[in-house]
């Protein structure tokens, strides 16, 4: 049972949050063999100043659309599976809700 914590700045619409949730879950279903009904997520929306991130570290520059995703899994996954999850998550989030890859961590 993977559990995802998703952190972002406050102000996104319910449709945006649903697209964010759906894309992350779809990536886990496709790459981690998670059953489609096995969805456990918490979305944390933060006031400015409560989500602190370096806008230029490694893959920057990051914008106010920055999303930090933390996934806890019950069983270990291979390095290849984790890399596939990272790639697919970024692809799906770029498609919907339209996040730039630099804004996904």
Residues taking part in catalysis: 2
Cα–Cα distance, 4 to 72 (Å, whole number)? 6
Check: CB of residue 101 under 8 Å from CB of residue 90. yes
Of 15, 63, 24, which Cα lies nearest the Cα of 42? Answer: 24
Find the angle CA(24)-CA(12)-CA(6) to the nearest 5 degrees: 35
């Amino acid at each position: 049972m993977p559990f995802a914590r998703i952190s972002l700045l406050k102000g996104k619409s319910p449709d945006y949050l649903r697209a964010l949730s759906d894309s992350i879950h779809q990536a886990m279903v496709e790459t981690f063999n998670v059953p489609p009904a096995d969805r456990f997520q918490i979305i944390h929306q933060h006031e400015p100043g409560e989500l602190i991130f370096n806008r230029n570290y490694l893959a920057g520059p990051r914008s106010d659309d920055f999303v930090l995703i933390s996934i806890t899994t019950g069983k270990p996954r291979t390095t290849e599976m984790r890399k596939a999850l990272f790639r697919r998550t970024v692809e799906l989030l770029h498609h919907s809700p339209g996040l730039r890859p630099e804004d996904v961590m």
